[in-house]
């Protein structure tokens, strides 16, 4: 409220503007002013309107306490409705007086509990209707309530409210939150985990976090790169060997399984493992014991397996390159790490985190100067696709920090640090040859499912917003497409990149 003696200097306040411009049956003033001040204001306001003015006073501990504001607003609206006892009452809520927190509460009430017209007023534009589309409200309200809901979900699931083991997986995107929620749920169990994802998405980082959050956290975490082991040494690397077992075996060697006993064995790029090695691995997983090369007595082991691959193992099975029985042994809990291009909102905070890490790790190097990104350099980084994902982003930042002169990394430093894009040998979806079993309806279906699923995920299930994301004209059109391609609304649609197509 504007005090009357201020008006000649600043003009009418929002309430006075509204009552002079619009007609109402009753004006209700929700306030926390002293009684004498509000009565003085009402007497002055009566010179500008003939409508009935009803004050409702509520004490607030602060102007941004959402809980107190919400209770006061609901009590005031209910009291007004009870006085008239009519079903056809039309409510109007004024957003301009009060704090932003108060305006937010009125928007929520107008779009949920008490349907109402929203108005705003200013000296520049006068009094006008505040247009807050329902789809914005429908998206905003669940987001507003999601924090307490998620807190309750975490408590009921037995999760700690914080997950320090996963702190190195920097993110704020919804798709990553879902991956980490699943990882936290599976971490306490000893079931095998298969982590799928493109190169550079952080599969080993996730595997280490799962281990740290598990009951095996105080035991060993052993990482093996299955694609880097020569075929003739796979058995020795996995299970160890006795002295004299073969030429060059001058001493007993403990293999990775024994080293990881009671802990976690991370099999990176398990899809690269040759078929003979897959057979030996499967036998050990089935029987829970191993035999060192050159020995005869089996050794009991208790190892949790976390495997990772950048291949699609089901396709490898179809082509005869991976055993289906081994797949079902390791793929009990399957986690898909999305590529960076599908992690909406993560790129900016990842850039900041990685640059802080570079500065910290390089701080003691001779002549190192603390680096900052210029605005144009950061915008250029955000505009890139990053086929190498987080690893490529980190390496680019390292090179840019080295190339840059002085403390500021500029966009030309970033451009020089970028590596040329490596063309894939796989045929893109738009480059497939005609004939040769080409199935156009299947290709169109694959593309449609991919983008419809991504849109539903990014829009948090709001089909009006999802329709806009994929360029469809309306909620109904989007719904028709979802039905056509067999995607049930409200379900977890698998969002996969179709071989980096298009």
Please indicate, yes or no, whether residues 194 and 328 belong to a single structural domain of this protein.
Answer: yes
- Rounded Cα gap, residues 500 and 429, in angstroms: 9
**Residue 119 near residue 94 (C-beta atoms within 8 A):** yes
Best CA proximity match to 58, nearest among 40, 78, 43:
78
H or E element that contains 408: strand 408-409
Total domains in the fold of the chain: 4
473 within a domain of the structure (yes/no): yes
Best CA proximity match to 66, nearest among 34, 35, 98, 111:
98
H or E element that contains 285: helix 275-287
**Residue 453 near residue 495 (C-beta atoms within 8 A):** yes
Residues 83, 84, 86, 90, CA torsion sign: negative
Please indicate, yes or no, whether residues 267 and 191 belong to a single structural domain of this protein.
Answer: yes
* CATH value at residue 11: 3.40.50.10770
* CATH value at residue 410: 1.10.8.60
Please indicate, yes or no, whether residues 448 and 393 belong to a single structural domain of this protein.
Answer: no
| Whole-number pLDDT of residue 258 | 95
| Whole-number pLDDT of residue 271 | 95
Residues in the chain: 502
Angle at 465 between CA 474 and CA 476, to 5 degrees: 25
284 within a domain of the structure (yes/no): yes
Rounded to a whole number, what is the distance in angstroms from the first to the last CA of the chain? 58
**C-beta atoms surrounding 227 within 10 Å:** 14
**Residue 342 near residue 455 (C-beta atoms within 8 A):** no
**C-beta atoms surrounding 439 within 10 Å:** 10
Q: Which of 356, 390, 417 is the last residue of a domain?
A: 417
Please indicate, yes or no, whether residues 443 and 325 belong to a single structural domain of this protein.
Answer: no
252 within a domain of the structure (yes/no): yes
Give me 170's structure tokens.
């920097």
Please indicate, yes or no, whether residues 310 and 392 belong to a single structural domain of this protein.
Answer: no
Backbone angles phi, psi at 177, to 5 degrees: -60, -40
Please list the alpha-helical segments (H only) found in 85-133: 100-111
**Residue 447 near residue 495 (C-beta atoms within 8 A):** no
**Residue 213 near residue 184 (C-beta atoms within 8 A):** yes
* CATH value at residue 455: 1.10.10.60
* Secondary-structure breakdown of the chain: helix, strand, coil percentages, each rounded to the nearest 5: 45, 15, 40
Please indicate, yes or no, whether residues 193 and 316 belong to a single structural domain of this protein.
Answer: yes
Give me 260's structure tokens.
């990881």
Q: Which of 351, 382, 417 is the last residue of a domain?
A: 417
Give me 351's structure tokens.
């850039």
- Rounded Cα gap, residues 180 and 209, in angstroms: 10
142 within a domain of the structure (yes/no): no
Please indicate, yes or no, whether residues 214 and 298 belong to a single structural domain of this protein.
Answer: yes
Please indicate, yes or no, whether residues 202 and 287 belong to a single structural domain of this protein.
Answer: yes
- Rounded Cα gap, residues 272 and 226, in angstroms: 6
Best CA proximity match to 403, nearest among 392, 391, 415:
415
**C-beta atoms surrounding 4 within 10 Å:** 15
Please indicate, yes or no, whether residues 222 and 357 belong to a single structural domain of this protein.
Answer: no
Q: What is the pTM of this model?
A: 0.58
470 within a domain of the structure (yes/no): yes
- Rounded Cα gap, residues 475 and 172, in angstroms: 27
Q: Domain range spanning residue 301?
A: 164-338
Please indicate, yes or no, whether residues 84 and 95 belong to a single structural domain of this protein.
Answer: yes
From residue 35, how far is each of 16, 265, 372 by CA, in Å? 19, 71, 55
Q: Which of 394, 417, 440 is the last residue of a domain?
A: 417
DSSP string for residues in 287-308? HTEE--BT--S-EE---EEEEE
**C-beta atoms surrounding 497 within 10 Å:** 14
82 within a domain of the structure (yes/no): yes
From residue 271, how far is each of 178, 277, 321, 353 by CA, in Å? 25, 11, 8, 31
Tens of pLDDT, residue by residue, the chain (502 residues): 444 444 434 457 888 888 888 888 889 988 888 888 888 888 888 888 888 888 888 888 777 777 788 888 888 888 888 887 766 678 899 888 888 888 888 888 887 778 888 888 877 778 888 776 544 444 444 444 444 445 445 544 455 555 789 999 999 888 999 999 999 999 999 999 999 999 999 999 999 999 999 999 999 999 999 999 988 889 999 999 888 878 788 888 899 999 999 999 999 999 999 999 999 999 999 999 999 998 889 999 999 999 999 999 999 999 999 999 999 999 999 999 999 988 888 999 999 999 999 999 988 888 888 999 998 899 889 888 899 999 999 999 999 999 899 899 998 999 999 988 654 444 456 666 677 677 888 888 888 887 887 787 777 678 888 888 889 988 888 888 988 888 754 334 333 443 334 4
Please indicate, yes or no, whether residues 319 and 356 belong to a single structural domain of this protein.
Answer: no
- Rounded Cα gap, residues 388 and 392, in angstroms: 5
In the block, which residue shows the tokens 């030429």?
Answer: 247
Best CA proximity match to 125, nearest among 201, 197, 18:
18
Give me 78's structure tokens.
């209910």
**Residue 302 near residue 288 (C-beta atoms within 8 A):** yes
In sequence order, what are the residues at sequence separation of 6 or more whose Cβ sits closer than 8 angstroms to the Cβ of residue 496? Answer: 336, 450
| Whole-number pLDDT of residue 422 | 56
Please indicate, yes or no, whether residues 181 and 329 belong to a single structural domain of this protein.
Answer: yes
154 within a domain of the structure (yes/no): no
In sequence order, what are the residues at sequence separation of 6 or more whose Cβ sits closer than 8 angstroms to the Cβ of residue 464? Answer: 135, 138, 475, 478
Residues 428, 429, 432, 438, CA torsion sign: positive
| Whole-number pLDDT of residue 162 | 58
138 within a domain of the structure (yes/no): no
* CATH value at residue 291: 3.40.50.300
Angle at 241 between CA 238 and CA 243, to 5 degrees: 160
Residues 4, 9, 15, 17, CA torsion sign: positive
């Amino acid at each position: 409220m504007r005090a009357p003696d201020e008006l000649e200097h600043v003009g009418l306040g929002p309430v006075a503007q509204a009552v002079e411009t619009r007609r109402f049956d009753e004006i209700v003033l929700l306030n926390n002013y002293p009684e004498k001040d509000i009565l003085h204001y009402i007497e002055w306001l009566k010179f500008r309107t003939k409508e009935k003015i009803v004050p409702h006073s509520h004490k607030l501990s602060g102007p941004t306490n959402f809980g107190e504001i919400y209770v006061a607003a609901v009590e005031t609206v209910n009291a007004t409705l009870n006085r008239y006892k009519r079903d056809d009452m039309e409510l109007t809520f004024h957003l301009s007086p009060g704090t932003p927190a108060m305006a937010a509460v009125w928007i929520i009430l107008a779009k949920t509990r008490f349907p109402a017209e929203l108005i705003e007023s200013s000296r520049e534009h006068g009094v006008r209707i505040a247009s807050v589309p329902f789809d914005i409200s429908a998206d905003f309200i669940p987001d507003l309530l999601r924090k307490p809901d998620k807190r309750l979900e975490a408590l009921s699931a037995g999760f700690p409210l914080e997950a320090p083991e996963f702190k190195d997986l920097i993110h704020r995107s919804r798709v990553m939150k879902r991956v980490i929620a699943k990882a936290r749920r599976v971490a306490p169990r000893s079931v095998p985990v298969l982590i799928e994802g493109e190169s550079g998405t952080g599969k080993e980082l996730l595997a280490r976090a799962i281990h740290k959050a598990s009951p095996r956290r105080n035991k060993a975490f052993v990482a093996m790169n299955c694609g880097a082991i020569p075929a003739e040494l796979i058995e020795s690397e996995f299970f160890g060997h006795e002295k004299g077992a073969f030429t060059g075996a001058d001493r007993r060697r403990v293999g990775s399984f024994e080293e990881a006993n009671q802990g976690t064995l991370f099999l990176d790029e398990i899809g690269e493992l040759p078929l003979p090695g897959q057979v030996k691995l499967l036998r050990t997983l089935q029987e829970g014991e191993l035999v060192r090369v050159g020995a005869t007595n089996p050794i009991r082991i208790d190892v949790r397996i976390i495997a990772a691959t950048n291949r699609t193992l089901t396709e490898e099975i179809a082509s005869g390159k991976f055993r289906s029985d081994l797949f079902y042994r390791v793929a009990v809990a399957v986690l898909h790490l999305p590529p960076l291009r599908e992690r909406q909102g993560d790129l900016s905070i990842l850039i900041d985190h990685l640059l802080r890490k570079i500065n910290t790790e390089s701080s003691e190097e001779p002549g190192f100067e603390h680096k900052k990104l210029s605005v144009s350099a950061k915008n250029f980084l955000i505009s890139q696709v990053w086929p190498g994902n987080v690893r490529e982003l980190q390496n680019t930042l390292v090179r840019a920090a080295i190339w840059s002169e002085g403390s500021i990394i500029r966009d030309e430093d970033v451009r020089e640090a970028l590596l040329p894009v490596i063309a894939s040998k796989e045929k893109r979806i738009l480059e497939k040859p005609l004939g040769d079993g080409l199935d156009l309806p299947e290709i169109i279906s694959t593309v449609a499912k991919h983008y419809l699923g991504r849109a539903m995920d990014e829009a948090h299930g709001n089909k009006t917003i999802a329709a806009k994301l994929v360029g469809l004209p309306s909620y109904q059109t989007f719904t028709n497409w979802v039905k056509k391609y067999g995607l049930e609304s409200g379900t977890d649609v698998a969002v996969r990149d179709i071989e980096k197509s298009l």
